[in-house]
Amino acid sequence: MADQKTLGERLAEHGVSRRAFVKYASWLGSLMALPPATSRAMAAELAKAKRQSVIWLSFQECTGCTEAITRSKGPTLEDLIFDFISLDYHHTLQAVSGEAIEEARHAAMKENKGKYVVIVDGSVPMKDGGIYSTTAGHSNYDTLMETVKDAFAVISVGTCAAFGGIPKANPNPTGAVSIGDLVKDKPVINIPGCPPIPEAMTGTVAYLLSFGKVPELDHLGRPKAFFGENIHDRCYRRPFYERGQFARGFDDEGARNGWCLYEVGCKGPTTYNACATMKWNGGVSFPIQSGHGCLGCSEPDFWDKGGFYVPLSASIGPTAKLVGGAALAGAVAGVAAAAVARHRKSSLNKG
């Protein structure tokens, strides 16, 4: 855990020149919409940064977030920064197990009290005493609250940690909640996505290392630098939306011509993420570019928004049953009203 080398020295060991590092800091700075002077300060501070202790807790999740980060196109500077942090506890990546790793977590918490960062992926089950997910005999809730007690900040990686995600989807059998629902006395940074973009996570960690503070967040606790704009506004298919050219299936003329995917349920207009600008796998592509509409995975409750293939302008819920019932009731009420009126008229004529 103890490593006195700075990030600059570690990168130099990996053959990364100072020039390349400054370029990376400038790129990161521009990505996060920082002023040029701040980007230079970021480069300087990042180079001087000491190894950051990170405790990574995995709760109700699929390990997709870890997969996305560790399998990102490499080797890149993001990987090296990820390597640079002292990952003191991580179920998927740790070599040891059992009591030894729990001791390592406690040791990291004690040694870096008030300075370590807790990264969480997965939601926390609260139903039935939280028995649906445990580690080392402790519920996720107990582990989380014990670990974050002396943390500097908490980063919720992935939509499950940030908003409850798929475990929280209806009917939410485990009573899953997000990290932000439980941790109220520490800064909680949400980096949602299913999985999140690796650069959004490493960028946020780099910001924390450089400035020792939380980046500017939106109303859902997401760094504005990565979640400040909706996908629709930055989508390369946007011109087709304006022209009224839509794919109506996944194998029609519109799909083959790369037209807008709004009609097949794309949630780009209501989803805030950097997919359309940063893309995935080293900027190769993103879901819409691959021909599938955005699922809105970086938004709360994306699983329960009425269906991935239902257009945003369509109603959701039991519309047909409700309207059908109303039609029947209206017709009966109308006929009854007419019958009553005719009866009255007939009575008046007789009278």
Partner 1 sequence: MDLLDFARGPAINVAMAVMVFGVLWRLFAILFLGKAPDRTVPRMGTPGPLGAALREIARRMVPHPTFAFAERFSFFNGWVFHVGLAVVVFGFRPHVLFIKNLTGLSWPTLPSGVVYVVGAITLVSLAAALVRRLTNPVQRFISGLDDYFSWVVTILPVITGLVAVGHVGARYETLLAIHILSIAVLLIWLPFGKLFHAFLVFVSRGTTGAFLARRGV
* Binding region for partner 1 (CB under 8 A): 230, 232-233, 241-244, 246, 262-263, 269-270, 300-301, 305-306, 310-320, 322-323, 325-327, 329-331, 333-335, 337-339, 341-342
What is the token pair recorded at 298? Answer: 């970086």
Residues 6+ apart with CB under 8 A from 312: 262, 265, 266, 267, 269, 270
Contact assessment for residue 169 and residue 301, using Cβ atoms and an 8 Å cutoff? yes
CB of 173 to partner 1, least distance (A): 19
CA 339 vs. chain centroid, Å, equals 59
Q: Which is nearer to partner 1, 98 or 244 (CB)?
A: 244
Q: Which is nearer to partner 1, 67 or 233 (CB)?
A: 233
CA 62 vs. chain centroid, Å, equals 14
CB of 243 to partner 1, least distance (A): 5
Q: What interhelical angle do 36-48 and 18-31 show, nearest 10?
A: 130
- For the CA atoms of 20, 22, 23, 26, the dihedral, rounded to the nearest 10 degrees, stands at 160
CB of 318 to partner 1, least distance (A): 7
Q: Which is nearer to partner 1, 227 or 280 (CB)?
A: 227
CA atoms within a 13 Å half-sphere pointing along the CA-CB vector of 252: 11
CB of 11 to partner 1, least distance (A): 39
Of 238, 227, 228, 229, nearest to 266 by C-alpha is: 238
CB of 22 to partner 1, least distance (A): 35
Contact assessment for residue 274 and residue 224, using Cβ atoms and an 8 Å cutoff? no
Residues 6+ apart with CB under 8 A from 338: none
Q: Which amino acid is at 319?
A: T
Cis amide leading into 192 (omega within 30): no
Q: Which is nearer to partner 1, 287 or 300 (CB)?
A: 300
Length of the chain: 351
The burial of 291, by beta-carbon neighbours within 10 Å (0-12 exposed, 13-18 middle, 19 or more buried), is given as middle
CB of 219 to partner 1, least distance (A): 9
CB of 222 to partner 1, least distance (A): 13
Q: Which is nearer to partner 1, 83 or 218 (CB)?
A: 218
Of 6, 85, 86, 87, nearest to 45 by C-alpha is: 6
Q: Which is nearer to partner 1, 93 or 314 (CB)?
A: 314
CB of 281 to partner 1, least distance (A): 28
